[in-house]
Amino acid sequence: MDKIHYLDNAATTKLYPELMETFQRYYLDVFANPSSLHKAGLMAEKAVLNSRKLVAGLIGASEEQIIFTSGASEANNLVIANGAFKRAEPVMITSKIEHSSVKKALNFYAHEHIYYLNNDQNGVIFTDFDNMEIESANLITVIYVNNEIGTIQNVKELIKKAKAKGFRGMFHVDATQAIGKIPVDVKDLDCDFLTASAHKFKGPKGVGFLYCKNPKLVNAMVFGGGQEFGKRAGTENVAGICVMAKALSKACKDMAANTKKAFEFKQKIVDYVKASEHFALTIDEDVKQSPFILSVRSDLAPSEVLLHAYADEGIYLSSGSACNSSNPQTSSVLGAIGKAPSPETAVLRISFAADTGINDINAFIKASEKMVSRFNK
């Protein structure tokens, strides 16, 4: 095996190499604590401030609406905890295809009163809001781009419909797989909260952000110093924040070119899958979906076996979310769209990033042919 073909970019991406310099700067030169009053501290504070402005500007927000966190999981938890702080018995509405950081936080904070929006077999969430207490709901939380199957929700429509049906709570969008890949403008969406993680757009791990339309309404979940306007205590991850802002800026600048390339790559694999007897698309081709995520089913072997066999060929994939990567039978997303694989069959998630090349796609197709000869006995 001479080369690794990394096609697991929905799990995480490789940092833009040119941003290593920024890391070095904020660990070795401008390394002071942004809360320190000396000149070095002020420099660090200014760097965080500039990054906040940059991130805010890229999503149509203003700087006081951005709270930096350790990533989307924390930001999602903060949103849901806030939904729960408003009432002794919080009422929350969500979909059946959320990331576990949303699903588990909801179960913790609102287990008695969670209403689930239905979806079709492609993971498109219905906007009817029938049979639920929408007028008394505190929070609606919906994933923008699904991390396992790539379905893009019509979030704007969901927000409009919810309001038309009398919803007066907060609307949260988990945009972790959307930010830096599809245009996101919080004013245009008209959401109250939006969350993201830097490592999904070629930024660093362990840093992300929460957008809040009205930050005054947010209560802290992590208490301590007055960082992040008192909404999230803890010494700032200065280097991570600065690198994240630069990564997002680059991802947004290159979005059109990256999207075009990802569309071509995805189409090439889609064409291969459609021509094959042993692979099938998990969701229909005409559904609105991310060009960066493709979910494919196969009857050749169980997921775990097939994923290892691809890895032996240098092709790194997963079957879905990192949380259930080798066991898609337990994926609630695949279950919710009625496509959980049997123990003998597989689901593969192939995901791209700006640094994916045509050689990676060709290598996947070549390896798939090998899988057919090896497992189709």
Ligand X SMILES: Cc1ncc(COP(=O)(O)O)c(C=O)c1O
Residues forming the active site: 323
Nearer to ligand X, 197 or 227 (CB): 197
Least distance in Å: CB of 174 to ligand X? 5
Among 94, 151, 177, 282, binds ligand X (CB under 6 A): 177
Told to check if 176 binds ligand X by CB under 6 A, we report yes
Nearer to ligand X, 99 or 202 (CB): 99
Nearer to ligand X, 189 or 371 (CB): 189
Among 54, 56, 67, 72, binds ligand X (CB under 6 A): 72
Site size for ligand X (CB under 6 A): 13
d(CA 375, CA 377): 6
- Which window, 70-78, 259-267, 274-282, 353-361, contacts ligand X (CB under 6 A)? 70-78
d(CA 171, CA 95): 13
Told to check if 73 binds ligand X by CB under 6 A, we report yes
Tokens matching residue 346: 């597989």
Asked if 146 contacts 287 with a C-beta cutoff of 8 angstroms, the reply is no
- Which window, 41-49, 67-75, 126-134, 355-363, contacts ligand X (CB under 6 A)? 67-75
Three-state SS for 351?
A: strand
- Which window, 16-24, 174-182, 309-317, 366-374, contacts ligand X (CB under 6 A)? 174-182
DSSP 131: T
Place of tokens 């695949």: 334
Strands (E), 51-136: 66-69, 92-95, 114-117
Nearer to ligand X, 72 or 348 (CB): 72
- What is the rounded end-to-end Cα distance, in angstroms, of the chain? 24
d(CA 27, CA 228): 20
Told to check if 293 binds ligand X by CB under 6 A, we report no
Told to check if 361 binds ligand X by CB under 6 A, we report no
d(CA 343, CA 183): 38
Told to check if 143 binds ligand X by CB under 6 A, we report yes
Least distance in Å: CB of 293 to ligand X? 10
Nearer to ligand X, 76 or 298 (CB): 76
Nearer to ligand X, 49 or 322 (CB): 322
- Which window, 22-30, 170-178, 271-279, 324-332, contacts ligand X (CB under 6 A)? 170-178
Residues contributing to the site for ligand X (CB under 6 A): 71-73, 76, 99, 101, 143, 147, 174, 176-177, 197, 199
